[in-house]
Amino acid sequence: MALEYEQLDDALERPRPSASPLDPFGLERPPDPCAVVIFGATGDLTHRKLVPALYDLSCHNVSPSRMAIVGFGRRALSETDFRAAMTEAIDSFYGDDSRIDQACGSCVREARYLQGDFDDLQAYQRLADLLAELDEQQGTAGNRIFYLATPPSLFPVIIEKLGAAGLARRGASGDVAEHAAPEGQGWTRIVVEKPFGHDLESAHQLNVVLREVFAENQVYRIDHYLAKETVQNILVFRFANGIFEPVWNRSFVDHVQITAAEALGVEHRGAYYEEAGALRDMIQNHLVQLFALTAMEPPVAFSADAVRDEKVKLLRAVRSIPPEHVDQFAVRGQYVDGTIDEQPVIAYRREDRVSPNSTTETYAAVKLLVDNWRWQGVPFYLRTGKRLPHQATEIAVQFKRPPHLLFRDAEKLGGQIPPNLLVIRIQPDEGLSLRFEAKTPGQVIGLQPVEMKFSYGSALRELPFSAYETLLLDCMTGDATLFNRDDQVDEAWRIVMPILDRWAATPGHGLGIYEAGTWGPEAADGLVARDGRRWRQP
């Protein structure tokens, strides 16, 4: 399976940063000097995400004072060519052909490149020699980050070779708060991109390989959704405001809808999508993470272990879906010819590198139930789809109606009074809104819904930093709060495996169709209608 990531993230044009003495991240301490080794350095992820993020961190004066970038790839490139490719990546990201800022560009001008096969132990030994040289010449102090920006099939190979070459240094995490590195040795961390496994068994096997070479506190399983400002704001919104937590439970919440809608199709990802499908591509990782943050209990502290402990507890409380009742908890669909923004759109089966008889789902909706004291009886509906009317990722918390309605006449005049609704918008317009009822002007009692809104773009002086900048910086400082732990990954796969197994055993069964530009198959409406509810349209 090829490495994939969402192309819509950070798609807005960004002004090219210049060197700034300010610290917009509010770091308590600067990151330690380190070398960042990117496996798959000539790939698309490196070009579109990692290089611009490293450049931004340097411009905002929050990257390590002594940082070396090393590219590792199979392609034969000179270091001059590699540096030119990095410069091109920065220019492409900002849509600007001007020269990179000289004060920010040292990470590019001094980048190194090592050509080698990923299964060649000698190449890793040459890498070890190069890193030792950088420790001497650039003062990287023995601290290393290994970033796996390669197809997932190469993860075990690279991990095993890092161990065989003595580069893992198990137990040296560098996390000052919890795990002190041995004196003079420096720390070592490894960043693993998604998808993390193809199912529960493959995820478990990858964790076994990682544990044989690295300690768990060295492993950073990246999910860039967790680094979005609005996603992080879920924790602040819930636990820093006394007015919401008392009603954040089964007594007041009717249900929760978590939506990730995309207007785009599979684009050039046909081959990948044929293997993955919507459930694996979005729900198992991104939407389950949003669900966990929305429903978890308050952690005892805002630390990596405390936050991740509560997320795992929540995921373990999710009721297992009986294999014989999958159709009552999950719906799948596939888009056919339609229209979006008055433009014709071809069916999924006519997309490039897609089978004309494909049964892969481009839409998936899942109902989750949580068997704990807080959420007993409250359904969580998760949905995602390609070729929906427009892009929108949000969490909608719908509250219960008042137990006794005083304004019956107002209800007769205007229809049923809508319930209170809290919406946390992840993208594209990051922010929050709260819907409640207010009196219409005049002598007669009339009700109408109104909204209070908060938007990052209008309320804050600066746009949020990109997800990859945040996650790279957290890795440099040893903060694993926004990264997935091994038990968390296993629980996320456990939740969706009954659905995946059922769909694999009956490829065409229950695969609804929906026209591109609509909100999914009719069966998705039935999923929530059986509970007396309906989907909202973001």
3-state secondary structure 319-371: CCCCHHHHHHCEEEEEEECEEECCEEECCHHHCCCCCCCCCCCCEEEEEEEEC
**DSSP summary character for residue 298:** P
185 closest CA partner among 11, 307, 32: 32
- Within 8 A by CB and 6+ apart from 12, the residues are 428, 463
Whether a cis peptide bond, with omega within 30° of 0, leads into 30 is no
Residue type, 388: L
| CA angle, residues 187, 192, 198, in degrees to nearest 5 | 150
Instruction: Give me the count of residues in the chain.
Output: 538
Query: CB of 257 within 8 A of CB of 537?
Result: no
Q: Which long-range contacts (CB under 8 A, 24 or more apart) does 16-20 make?
A: 16/94, 16/96, 16/98, 16/101, 17/55, 17/56, 17/59, 17/60, 17/101, 17/104, 18/59, 18/101, 18/103, 18/104, 19/59, 19/61, 19/101, 19/103, 19/104, 20/59, 20/60, 20/61
Query: CB of 32 within 8 A of CB of 141?
Result: yes
330-353 b/e (C-beta count within 10 Å ≥ 16 → b)? bbbbbbbebebeeeebebbbebee
Could you give the CA distance from residue 331 to residue 503 in angstroms, rounded to a whole number? 10
Which one is catalytic: 204, 286, 325, 390? 286
Using CA atoms, how far residue 343 sits from 40, 262, 266, 339, in Å, is 37, 15, 16, 5
Query: CB of 262 within 8 A of CB of 391?
Result: yes
- Within 8 A by CB and 6+ apart from 240, the residues are none
**DSSP summary character for residue 383:** E
Q: Which residue has the tokens 């990730």?
A: 260
- Within 8 A by CB and 6+ apart from 60, the residues are 17, 20, 22, 23, 24, 25, 465
What secondary structure does DSSP assign to 127-164, as a single string? HHHHHHHHHHHH--TT-EEEEE-S-GGGHHHHHHHHHH
- Report the 10 Å Cβ neighbour count for 325: 11
Structure tokens at 340: 């979006």
286 among known catalytic residues: yes
Structure tokens at 169: 């240094």
Structure tokens at 529: 């209608």
- Within 8 A by CB and 6+ apart from 176, the residues are 29, 478
498 closest CA partner among 345, 296, 325, 250: 325
* Residues carrying an active site annotation: 286
